[in-house]
Structures are given as structure tokens and as C-alpha cells.
A = this chain, B = another copy of it.
């Protein structure tokens, strides 16, 4: 049995148990966890000892004494209807009074908007007695809002645990490194902590400074939750830095964004992108200061991808400057694994696997063993594309100890993980094609499009995320690019460009498609032989007679009830196509977009006639279509679901779009529930069975030579060339 590469939770009340599982699972690192403490002498247990550290949170004595150094949030009030020519607005109405207080020193930054016209209003003042904004010269029947800074009185992550567990301890307050006194305090506290925690050799930052956007309402409910959101990083001081750096003023509206708060789905505008640039640079500079200190203590600095991670964009251009040794992320899928494993600029990457060892997730031995394996096979295919260096678990080890099958299954999983890393870690993996996923965020949000956070998705984005999930484990090189990359002429290096998402979102691109240069470059790429795959509402923005701006490339457009008088005749479905050759069952598009029709010349491969409402005129729900365009090809998918059949369909779609159909049977496993990865340097093939059944498959090596192979349930079989 091998060992290493595995982190497990420990507890000062479970030291002997910890030793047992270090042995059984080959763990080489222990960590603390919410509700547990590291044992004395933890280093006697394992070579690596991780401990959670909060830079911005933890010194409540100081924080409560320095109100002026608390973090702020940029917020918008309710929309309030004017019924006369005066209006009084309580900015904090329906916000949590426990979490937020008005920052009354920041009133010069506040703004009042007439949301009926979209215009800013200047005839208002803040009444310091009533804590309300009094607006004059209002127009009756218009709605008004106040943009304001609120001081954050309570750490957003703590609120949940505190409320759930009925705690009565002091409420944590987060301080802001933008204030030199706060920054100095962070340094002092970190140094003291490093002195104190001699056993700890990995400082697990959770995370650095600014929390993702997570605001509560006046009924103790989450009001806003955007894992990617920046409003809780803003402050008057940060706004002043902005002006110094960019030479123009940023306003609260630039962050508040009509109440959308520049969430992950909004097409980002210049002022907000500049703000992100400022914040990322600021955070990186601060973090570097602290990682240097950590290193001076001969310890490693690890970033947890979550909680207060705002500004520390793991694919941002400032990331490498932070001097981190490692990142760790909690994952629940191949896409989230890749979000961690594709990170560069650190020495190693680690993922926290599911299930957590918590009472609500470990309920019965068979159940949790199955959950472990079901998650693992989903993540393993992504791991075979781009392995992380380490895996780990969280929760209460003593709880896991009660489930013998589960702990055995963990042991086997750890062994399999190490064998994977040992064989192919750091090696190039063979790719059948190189694919770019195009959206407004590009590389900065690699593997993150469409997500709520690292372990959930929205109903609206299930099929887009499904596509990413299939991609995460396919023999395809995947990069995430922005419209700026398109403008720079960077497309030629790719075989296929993918664009998709709901209309008017950052993911489909919205108004970016009205930039003629973007259209030119993408059309030209396809016209010259490139492939284009659209999913959902790709390139969609209503303009110039079309909804899908590249309808000509895609061969389809969406009927928005504006072109129904234009008859559509391309309605015959032909399922005989390279793309559908391995689909035995009907394709599940997870719903998907409706009302898409084919242009003349495109080939409809699938349509949902049964969704028509008994009226023929204007009824068409194309689900899958292909088109040729110049020397190139395009594929349209109205929706998608991640499953074995669809993953195979997508692989075929990518190869067809790339004009590489002949590459399919190289380093390939015929049965769709199986997949094959190939590592040319060592000549190894990894053949995986993603199903819980024993299966047969025909394996094709890199030269197309075939052989029949049997695979046990979930088996990973290595084949030497």
C-alpha cells in the first residue's frame, strides 16, 4: 500500500482514531475542522498539519473598538414609490440590522436614482436623526432607490452557523485591510499566531479579506447570495484608490448596477471591470505581504477557494503574485475539480471530496459508501484529464469511524487516487481537439460559468453546467476565453469555439455580439474551417433582424414572436448523423430552449414536435442542428444533460465541428459508459467504467487497433501501449 497525498480531519478527542486512519488511508496531513481542534503535538501524527486562519476575522476586541476599520458593502435600498413630490426612504429597510449599519460618514458617495427613468436625482439629503434619506422634487408614481455604503457588523459566513446552532458568542466582525491600522493589526496577529502554532506547517487561509456577496434580510433569511459578487469589498477608501489608479470616479451605481450588483450573469461593464482590476491588485499585494511572513516562518500558505475569496480570482492575472503554495477547494463534480486542478501559479492543488463526515451526510454505511463512489467516478474522469496533487476530507473523523464499508471504500479511493497521480501526474494527456469556451469573463472564470457556487447550480443553468461537466472529463483541451481574446485574434489556435447561455447574460455575451469585430472574427474563424458550437441562446441579442447574431453560422435562430410571418420550411428531422451514431435512446436535453427554428441549409437532427401546442404555425422546437459555413461547421444544442450518452454525443459534435471525425477511434473506448484517457509520454491508457455495472467495451488504441475489454463496476484499468 502506498501513502501520501491525502488530508484528513482530526480532533484532539480522537487521536488514536486519527492514527488508525492515517495508516488505513495512507494520509500524510491532518487538519482542523469547524467544531474540532487539532490535538497537541499534531506533527507527531502527520508530516503536514493544516490549520484554518482568518486574516480579516477573529480579533473582535480590536474590531469592536475600531468601527472605522470595518468592512463595508455597496447596497441599494428597496424601490420606493413616490405618491407625492417628496419621498422618505429608509436605506436599510428589509436588510438585517444585525449584519448592517449605515455608514453615515460616507453620505457624500450615496446616490438617489429614479428607477422609473433610470436617472440619478440630486435633490435629497440624509437626515441623521431619522436615518432616512429625504428626496425632494419626486415625480408621483415613479420609484426611487438609494445607493449607500453600509458597515458590515457581522461576518457573513458566521451568521449561518451562529443562527443554526444557537450560538451566543461574540459575533465576528471583519476588518478591512484598506485601512493601514487594520492591515498592521492583521500582520501583528498573524505573526503572533504563527509563533503560537508551531506544529502547524500549512496555513489554510479562509480566505483573505472580502466576503462574497452574502447579505441577510430583516427576517434572518439570505437576501442576496452571489459567490462571485464584489459589493462587500467596496468602501469609500477603496473608491478613493480607484480614482487615484484610473483617474476617474467610480460611483456606487457602478457596483449596485440597478440592483443586479454585477452578479456573475451580468455582462460586466468597464467601470466594474476596472474595479475588479483594482481590487485584485490590492488583494494580491496584501496577500503577498502575508504569504511572505508565512514563508519566513517556514510554513506553507494555502488558499481556500471560498468565503472571503473576493479579489483573489484564482485565474486572475494577479493570482501568481500572491506567493501561495497551494489552493484547496471543496468540489462536487468534474467541473469543480477542474476549477481547482487547472489553477497555475501554485505548487499544489487539493480538493475536498464529498461526503463531508457530518451527521446529515453520513447516515448509513451503504448510503455514504455509494455517495462516495458516485461522486468519485464523476470527478475521476476530470482528474484523469488534469489531476490535483492532493485530496482530502472534512468533518468528524470519529463519525466516519462508525461506518466500516465507508472507511474501506475511502481507503480504496485514496489508493486509486495515488495510483493515478503516480502514473500520470504532471504528464501531458492526449487530446482529440482544442476547444475554447467563449464568454464575457473568459479565463478569469475558468470552469466557473453558470455556477451559483462550487456545489450547486441554478435551474436556469442546469443544461449549460451539464455541458461543462461533460467537457471536464473529455479528451479535449478546454480553455475559457473572452471577447477581448476574440478581438485580439486568438481563435486560430482552437478547433472549436463554444458559446452559450441565456440571452443578455455574460455567458452568451449579450451586447458583446453587437461589436462587429467580434462577429467578423468568429465568422472568419468558422469560414476558414473552425468549428462553432452554440448551446441555449448563443450569440443572442435582438438586433439587426436577428436574435442569434450568428444565426447564419449556427443555421438556427430563435423565434421571438417577431418573425412569425416569415415561413420556415426546414423542419424535416434526420437523425442519421455522425453526431448521433452512439445514441440508442432519445437524447435528454434537460428541457432546453424552445422556439428555435432551422434556417435553410442547416440539417435538423432532433426536434421536439410533441412540445407543439396543437397549432402548426410558428411551432418548432429544434433541439439539435448542424450547419456548414464556408470551410467550417457549426452545431446547435437547445439544451443538454450530463450523462454518458450525451457526453459521447458532445464528443462527436466537437470532432464533427472540428472536421476531425477520423480522430474519434483513437485512444477510445466504444461503450459510452466507459472512457479512455491516453498519456503518450508513458504510453499508458486509463480506461474507466463510470457505471455501477460490469461492462464490455471495445478499446481502440492510438493507432485505432481494437480489443475487447471487460471492466468491473467503477473500475479504472491501466493499459500499457
Contact = CB atoms under 8 A, between A and B. Distances in A.
Interface of A: 79, 81, 83, 115-118, 139-143, 213, 221-226, 229, 258-261, 263-266, 452, 456-462, 501-505, 516, 519-521, 523-524, 527, 542-546, 552, 559-567, 569, 590-591, 595, 612-619, 630
Contacts of A81: 523, 552
Contacts of A542: 504
Contacts of A79: 545, 552
A257 to B, nearest CB: 8
B566 A224 contact: yes
Contacts of A546: 115
A590 to B, nearest CB: 6
B564 A452 contact: yes
A117 B567 contact: no
A265 to B, nearest CB: 5
B520 A613 contact: no
A617 B83 contact: no
Contact of A457 (B461, B523, B617): B617
Top 5 A-B pairs ranked by shortest CB distance?
A258-B545, A226-B565, A459-B619, A458-B618, A502-B561
Contact of A520 (B141, B225, B260, B266): B141
Contacts of A552: 79, 81, 143
Contact of A562 (B222, B504, B617): B504
A25 to B, nearest CB: 33
A558 B683 CA distance: 54
Given A141-B523, A143-B552, 4 more contacts: A259-B545, A458-B619, A460-B564, A504-B562
16 contacts: A115-B544, A116-B519, A117-B544, A141-B523, A141-B527, A143-B552, A224-B566, A224-B567, A225-B567, A263-B562, A263-B563, A263-B564, A265-B564, A459-B616, A460-B559, A462-B614
A559 to B, nearest CB: 7
Contacts of A619: 458-459
Contact of A141 (B139, B524, B590): B524
A516 B82 CA distance: 13
Contacts of A564: 263, 265, 452, 458, 460
A619 to B, nearest CB: 4
B459 A229 contact: no
Contacts of A565: 213, 224-226, 229, 261, 263-264
A664 to B, nearest CB: 30
A274 to B, nearest CB: 21
Nearest to A536: B561
Contacts of A456: 615, 617
A499 to B, nearest CB: 15
